[in-house]
Homo-oligomer: A and B are copies of this chain.
Amino acid sequence: MSLQFDITAQDPNTGARAGTLTINGKGVQTPVFMPVGTVGAVRAMTPWELERAGASIVLANTYHLSIRPGEQLIEKAGGLHKFMGWKQLLLTDSGGFQIFSLPKVKVSDEGVSFQYEVDGQKVFLSPERSIQIQNQLGADIIMAFDECVPYPSPYQKAEEAVRRTTQWAKRCARAHTQENQTLFGIIQGSTYGDLRQRSVSELLNIGFQGYAIGGVSVGEGLEIMKEVLEMTVPQLPVTPPRYLMGVGLPEDILASVERGIDMFDCVIPTRYARSAGLFTNRGRIRLTHKKYKRDFYPIEPQCGCYTCQHFSRAYLRHLFLNNEMLASVLASIHNTFFYQNFMRQIQEALKKEKFASFQKDFLSGYEIAPKGPSLKRQWQEKSDSDDFLT
């Protein structure tokens, strides 16, 4: 198998660690953040801009790609790397997370049937089918097909999902035959410690190259997510990489790195960017606010990104107020750079055995924005209470 993970630094006081993940001759430093390229494109960003912003691995969504343009087309194009012009590492999810958020989903041990949200066509997805699609897409890392339950879920429902996730994980491992792809298992169990432990031990019995923690970032909030990590990560062996799915904000990432997570993905940096939500070391700002009208400083004065090197807050605000696409482009460049730079700082701090002080310093300067109960709900609020057009 082709994955190699070398832990290069281990924080003496917490579970935090830095490492190098190498697959198919392509390496990334961990802890790593993966920008999300849902349909085979990180929205508004060219692969060139992505690389320039420091990204070295991108996540794409199996659910979306299988429906449009279809895995056959992407396979015929020479695989997803070639199709989307991305030469570095790629990870595809299994499609499970998206499907379980759809209405009218029918789950059986065999698999999941649902209606495609755009044209209502009936689709059936099973572990075998998910792996087959991911094989055809050809990402470096592929994910087992799991059952993701919402938060909160009653114990029985969560237990049923763990049972099914294990069964499906076995079928995924059996179905997976592509040597140049690395399969990760996904741990479920909602917020129940014994279920998380059971899920871990059953997946370890099957044996995967990496382990993801699923069923988080579904509205439980940071405090409960920390608890889930604390009941789950210590059960995992040291060596394989650990991936926390769908997380998150900088404060979430810090807390998760502290608890031993190596890999992250989230739509937040690019999605917020398109709504003028920009990350800075002092917290997130809403660039359309009138206080930036005559603000000729960059988003982040010390930032090395293309956007901050060339444009002022006043200019970006002007572009947002004119609904000019370039606003989304430039904001996505900044937020992606911010996240990648943030991960580099974490890696550096770990190598210098200064993770605790970095975490403390970062959080003391960073104002955490108030957060609703669900990220999902937040994303739907396109405009907020700020005075958008003044």
Residue numbers of A with Cβ under 8 A of B are: 39-48, 68-69, 73, 76-78, 83-85, 293-294, 296, 306, 310-312, 314-315, 318-319, 321-322, 324-326, 328-330
B77, B306, B315: the one within 8 Å of A312 (CB) = B77
In Å, the complex CA distance between A73 and B314 comes to 9
Pairwise interchain contact A68-B326, C-beta atoms closer than 8 A: no
The reply to whether A73 and B294 contact each other, CB–CB distance below 8 Å, is: yes
Contacts of A321 on B, CB cut-off 8 Å?
68-69
Q: Could you name 11 residue pairs across A and B whose Cβ atoms are closer than 8 Å?
A: A39-B319, A41-B326, A46-B329, A47-B310, A68-B321, A69-B321, A77-B315, A83-B312, A85-B310, A325-B329, A329-B329
Complex CA gap A48/B328 in Å reads 16
Most B-side CB within 10 Å, residue of A45, A47, A325, A326 = A326
Nearest B residue to A295 by beta-carbon distance?
B77
Q: Please state if A314 and B77 are interface contacts (CB–CB under 8 Å).
A: yes
Known A68-B318, A310-B85; judge A325-B294 contact (CB<8 A).
no
Chain B residues, CB < 8 A from A45: 326
Compute how far the CA of A311 lies from the CA of B82 in the bound complex, rounded to whole angstroms: 8
| Least CB distance, A50 to chain B, in whole angstroms | 10
- Determine the chain B residues whose CB is within 8 A of the CB of A78 once the complex forms: 296
Q: Are B46 and A315 in contact, with the CB atoms below 8 A?
A: no
CB within 8 Å for A326 and B43 given contacts A77-B296, A293-B69: yes
Instruction: Give bound CA distance, A76 to B312, whole Å.
Output: 12
Knowing that A41-B324, A43-B326, A68-B318 are A-B contacts, what are 20 other residue pairs whose CB atoms are under 8 Å apart, sorted by A's residue number?
A: A39-B322, A41-B326, A42-B326, A44-B325, A45-B326, A46-B326, A46-B330, A47-B310, A48-B306, A69-B293, A69-B314, A73-B293, A73-B294, A76-B296, A77-B314, A83-B315, A85-B310, A85-B311, A85-B315, A325-B329
